[in-house]
Structure 1
Amino acid sequence: MDQQFLMGMNMREMGDISNPQLQAIMEQLGVDCPQLVGLGVDMALQYLYDATPPPPVSRRAPLASAAVSAPTGDDIDCLSRLPDGILKNVVSRLPAKDAARTAALASRWRGIWRSAPLAVVDAHILPDGFAAVRMAPGGDDPSSMLVVAAASRVLAAHPGPFRCVQLTCTHMASHRDEAARWLKLLADKGVQELAFINRPWPLDLPLPTEFFGCAASLTRLHLGVWRFPSTAGLPRSARFPHLKELVLSLIIVGDRDLQFLVDRSPVLEILTIISSQIDVRLRLISRTLRCVQLGMSALADVNVVDAPRLERLLLWMTMNHDKGSRIKIGHAPNLRMLGHWQLADHELEIGNTVIKVGTKVSPSTIVPSVKILALEVQSEVRNDVKMVPCFLKCFPNVEILHVYSQNADHTTSKLNLKFWQEAGHIECVQSHVKKFVFEEFRGNRSELSLLKFIAEKAQILEKMVVMVVSECFSSVDDVNAKLKPLTSAKWASENCKLSVFMSPVSERGSPTWHFRIGSDFSWSDPFDLMAADAEHRGNAVLHYFSSTL
């Protein structure tokens, strides 16, 4: 819970040492405030870099290993006889340093690299023997200065366009003029995919306004560790006409400016916000958005007004410490995936109805399109658990249900099986759920009651997966003993397969998440990372079919 509390705070809140809960965590960890802020930034940076798409080129296969050389003697240079279009395609798939070296192969190649769309990754263009540093606080260390010099040479020498540019290893505060010059060059020469990340400290370094010159050509953008400039003075015609994916990490961006980015990106499909330095307020009106991810940030309000193509609304380690976050779902007829929903911190509004305990289900309070739902539940907190059946009734067609059992700081009265039996008809559980995944099982009565309820009510359930917190059990026999009431229950689905796994990692404060997978539409269920990993490893405790019980 400490980790979740820290990452749910923005960086300004982490600097408020008068916060009692923050003081308690500092005392528990034995660190002072600067150390704690550094800890939070380090965690955010790990996810920031992980969310950066892999570049389209790799220096693991340099030109030298390709056995391409200039012809000698009677050798016939067949490669150079290929049409210019094919040669440009070949060169554009090489790291920038190797692309430039092709000019030495033969006279036929000398102009090819300059006319090929180039991929520039600053970590690839350092001299041999130097390693690019990303997470160091910054300053004029040798690697940072070499990165600046190398990047400046390549960006100036090549006429463009640039298919991909990743500048992630420079302490921009020490090289502000160069950063502005790079953005001006990229704007003039055309850049399609750009990752522009400041090596941290300061966290509020202003992003050069030259950035807006790149808007016309960008298709994918990742900005990290900047203060986003004001958009108030931009002309009404300013827009990002080709931008399909936008990632903002450790950014300070005002509500109006964030709205500008969304509203002025007419083909935007993916929006990801990681560790926003201020609370996020987002109003979504988009004909093209398919995936919205909000992680490690404090949310104020998210209002899905009109998003007809939105398929995924993904939340991870988000909260609001003042009054809770309100997330309103309006017109989103294709929303298939929702979570991780934190019942203690997120308030759901559907249409114009705020969902509370006792809210009656009606056509105006349901989202029938959702097929995959992930909840975080404090199983020993009464108010949390009482919201679960109310929440589930709003999503009658859920087929895959994930529940992450959150370890609460305090417990209230525990709810037994009778509570679930009196909850009334829950359509998705009884008629639609085919797979149920329960993470962080600690063996308490409230957790077992929910598992037993699902087993006895889910008529078409095909698979139940239980992830066990190993620290809470002395042995496999102890796990079996705790689960005996579940295994002896009368299951509604005779062919349901039950799998019980030891969690492959120690007890966690939040579910496992991967931002790139979350926005990868080839992954049918990004909430299933931990269970899929455990099943792949084969660390099963129990493994049988309910029909044999």
Structure 2
Amino acid sequence: MDRRVLPVPMDAATMAEFRQRGQIPEEVEKDIGTVLSYIHYALPDAPVSGEARLTAVPPDDDVDRVSLLPDALLHRIVSLLPVKDAARTAALSTRWREVWVSTPLVFVDADLLPAGQSNSSSGADVAREEARAVTFAVSRVLAAHPGPFRRLHLTSSLMDQYQGLLASWLQILAMKGIQELILVNRPWPADLSLPATFFGMATLTRLYLGLWKFPSTADLPRGVCFPNLRELGFSLIGITEEDIEFVLARSPVLETLCLQANTLERYRVASRSLRCVVMIGCPQDVDLVNTPRLERLILLQSCGSSMRVRIARAPSLRAVGYLDLGQHVLEIGNTVIKAGTRASPSTMIPSVKILALQVHFGVRNEAKMLPSFLRCFPNVETLHLQSRNTKDLTGKLNLKFWYDAGAIECIQSRITVMIFRGFQAARGEINFLKFCLENARMLKKLIIVSTKGRFASIDEANSAVKPLFTTKWACQCCSLVVLESACSEGSMNWNFERGSDFSLVDPFAIIMQASWIDISASS
């Protein structure tokens, strides 16, 4: 279900303020709408669906069989209903009222919006009044339910004139044992500060914040901590390096950290409990100082400028990507990896089994970096490559180019699965794939995924990969599969939950749809 929420339309005073700054209010609103969509897309899915409908065949008698169900099952039913429907069950009978008040609250405030409002515009005054109505309804729900509060998605209220109300919400959440909270500001203003009562929610196990200014931690008492917090996400948060280090240090069981386009230019990550770090719209500097349990480092949608990725201590790291060879400067220990960097124990991370890289095969300097990056991860078994299209070609890479780069251990003796996305059938791509097929002795499957619409027919796709069959493959049992992606070029279906879901062995294995091309062959 699409739960994206549009920004509340500006009032006259806010519009006048933007005009005084030389900005066009309508364009600013459009940009903020894009930002909110960006945030909501990355957030965890809501736990209930407002589109669900409960129906039943009329009974032959007057027996209330639903009320005869066990309490545990009734609690489960109520917990899956949108809050309006869940609260209405209290009117059915005394027993149902007890079920409502004794079921841990699951609440998505977007369900309180008028039907269709979240994805369509209405008059500014009407939309602001609807947002205020949601705000007051949230207050009533929080006050009416005795707790505990299991999971709340608060993304649709208008907090502009109700900052005191927000502080009281956070206090109630702390008192009633909030476990999972998704709290996104629905501007205006866009830089609203979270009240200090935020630090009282010690029962939190999962927290996602979007479009807030983070409160200062400088003067907080020593005892403030999040002892149960296992999952934390910040999206477009105004925060200092000191504040994020404070939160990490006070979250002793934190396993997943998700960061999206925040104000920091540098993240220094030190945590003995973290298992997964996901970054969407990355800063200029990521420094894994001390992360002994970290298993996944996921980097997506670079900002367009150079970014340093330093891995100092991460002995359990298993999955890394997408490293962008055009934008990411990889540093292992104290060594910056460059084209031609010789492999040594100090420049390798042997624990990594799954690696994802982005490269322009038509840009010679990027292609020269590929062997050096691969040598840093000698035990990779699954390699994801995203081929990036460019009009600024700086060299034609023949097969000799790859052989001149020297042996690559993971290709020769480790990689069993290779997924090559964004295939354009360019010369540089074909020659690299030939090099891999001629040297990858353990390769069992090569999956080539073309961009949507790249090939007009199966015959054209067959023709594009035909050169790969003219060379001698190192592994006689390797199979080749060619697919067409259901997504257009540059798009990637991803949210925080995908990266932090440890039931998925490979976090980069996005399911391919529209696989109308399927070739399987052995050399």
TM-score normalized by structure 1? Answer: 0.83
Say if 1:528 and 1:76 are closer, same or farther in 2 by CA, change over 3 A. closer
> Distance in 2 between the 1:134 and 1:246 partners?
27
| Worse overlay, 429-438 or 199-208 | 199-208
Say if 1:242 and 1:370 are closer, same or farther in 2 by CA, change over 3 A. same
Matched with 1:370 is 352
> Distance in 1 between the 2:267 and 2:350 partners?
23
Specify which structure has the bigger relative contact order, considering alpha-carbon pairs within 8 angstroms and separated by 6 or more residues. 1
What secondary structure sits across from 1:331 in the alignment?
coil
Say if 1:150 and 1:476 are closer, same or farther in 2 by CA, change over 3 A. same
State the AA in 1 paired with 2:497: R
State the AA in 1 paired with 2:267: L
Matched with 2:484 is 502
Equivalence map 1:370-409=2 (5 Å): 370-408=352-390
Matched with 2:18 is none
Matched with 1:3 is none
> Distance in 1 between the 2:66 and 2:473 partners?
69
Say if 1:509 and 1:101 are closer, same or farther in 2 by CA, change over 3 A. closer
Matched with 1:106 is 93
Would you say 1:295 and 2:280 are equivalent positions? Answer: yes
Q: How far did residue 478 of structure 1 move?
A: 4.2
Query: Which ranges in structure 1 are unaligned for 5 or more consecutive residues?
Result: 1-31
What secondary structure sits across from 1:483 in the alignment?
helix
Say if 1:206 and 1:409 are closer, same or farther in 2 by CA, change over 3 A. farther
State the AA in 2 paired with 1:527: F
> Distance in 2 between the 1:361 and 1:289 partners?
28
State the AA in 2 paired with 1:164: R
> Distance in 2 between the 1:483 and 1:377 partners?
19
Matched with 2:15 is none
Equivalence map 1:461-472=2 (5 Å): 461-469=443-451
Matched with 2:290 is 306
Give yes or no for contact 1:44–1:275 (8 Å, CA) kept in 2: no
Give yes or no for contact 2:249–2:271 (8 Å, CA) kept in 1: yes
> Distance in 1 between the 2:462 and 2:99 partners?
67
Matched with 2:192 is 205
Q: How far did residue 444 of structure 1 move?
A: 1.9
Matched with 1:272 is 258
> Distance in 2 between the 1:44 and 1:355 partners?
34
Matched with 1:515 is 496
State the AA in 2 paired with 1:518: G
Q: How far did residue 113 of structure 1 move?
A: 2.4
Equivalence map 1:482-493=2 (5 Å): 482-493=464-475
Give yes or no for contact 2:44–2:496 (8 Å, CA) kept in 1: no
What secondary structure sits across from 1:505 in the alignment?
coil
Matched with 2:174 is 187
Matched with 2:149 is 162
> Distance in 2 between the 1:308 and 1:374 partners?
21
Q: How far did residue 82 of structure 1 move?
A: 5.2
State the AA in 2 paired with 1:263: A
Matched with 2:432 is 450
Give deviations 1:462-485, integer Å, cap 9, x for gaps: 111112236555655444444332
Equivalence map 1:416-435=2 (5 Å): 416-435=398-417
Report the count of equivalent residues. 498
Matched with 2:520 is 544
Say if 1:112 and 1:503 are closer, same or farther in 2 by CA, change over 3 A. closer
Q: How far did residue 428 of structure 1 move?
A: 0.5
> Distance in 2 between the 1:208 and 1:184 partners?
10
> Distance in 1 between the 2:463 and 2:441 partners?
25
State the AA in 2 paired with 1:271: L
State the AA in 2 paired with 1:170: S
Give yes or no for contact 1:132–1:143 (8 Å, CA) kept in 2: no
> Distance in 1 between the 2:392 and 2:165 partners?
52
Give yes or no for contact 2:360–2:388 (8 Å, CA) kept in 1: yes
Say if 1:236 and 1:408 are closer, same or farther in 2 by CA, change over 3 A. farther
Matched with 2:234 is 248
Say if 1:108 and 1:35 are closer, same or farther in 2 by CA, change over 3 A. closer
Q: How far did residue 518 of structure 1 move?
A: 1.5
Give deviations 1:321-372, integer Å, cap 9, x for gaps: 3xx2211112212211100101111111112211112222111111111111
State the AA in 2 paired with 1:117: P
Q: How far did residue 61 of structure 1 move?
A: 4.4
Matched with 2:46 is 55
Give deviations 1:365-400, integer Å, cap 9, x for gaps: 111111111111011111111010011011011111
State the AA in 2 paired with 1:240: F
> Distance in 2 between the 1:449 and 1:35 partners?
49
Over the residues paired in the alignment, what is the CA RMSD in angstroms? 2.9
Q: How far did residue 114 of structure 1 move?
A: 2.4
Give yes or no for contact 2:324–2:357 (8 Å, CA) kept in 1: yes
Equivalence map 1:352-367=2 (5 Å): 352-367=334-349
What secondary structure sits across from 2:512 in the alignment?
helix
What secondary structure sits across from 1:437 in the alignment?
strand
Residue 128 of structure 2 is aligned with which of 127, 135, 141? 141
| Worse overlay, 93-102 or 438-447 | 93-102
Q: How far did residue 56 of structure 1 move?
A: 3.3
Say if 1:473 and 1:86 are closer, same or farther in 2 by CA, change over 3 A. closer
State the AA in 2 paired with 1:154: V
> Distance in 1 between the 2:327 and 2:425 partners?
24
Give yes or no for contact 1:407–1:509 (8 Å, CA) kept in 2: no
Residue 65 of structure 1 is aligned with which of 45, 55, 60? 55
Give yes or no for contact 2:485–2:515 (8 Å, CA) kept in 1: no
Say if 1:90 and 1:468 are closer, same or farther in 2 by CA, change over 3 A. closer
Give deviations 1:469-512, integer Å, cap 9, x for gaps: 36555655444444332121111111111122233233x23654
| Worse overlay, 92-101 or 381-390 | 92-101
Say if 1:429 and 1:174 are closer, same or farther in 2 by CA, change over 3 A. same
| Worse overlay, 416-425 or 39-48 | 39-48
Q: How far did residue 302 of structure 1 move?
A: 1.4
Give deviations 1:53-72, integer Å, cap 9, x for gaps: 2333334446x636899xx9
Equivalence map 1:524-543=2 (5 Å): 524-529=505-510, 532-534=511-513, 537-540=514-517, 543=519
Q: How far did residue 308 of structure 1 move?
A: 1.9
> Distance in 1 between the 2:29 and 2:347 partners?
43
Q: How far did residue 545 of structure 1 move?
A: 0.9
- Aligned-residue sequence identity (percent) comes to 47
What secondary structure sits across from 1:211 in the alignment?
helix
> Distance in 2 between the 1:68 and 1:391 partners?
66
> Distance in 1 between the 2:154 and 2:266 partners?
28
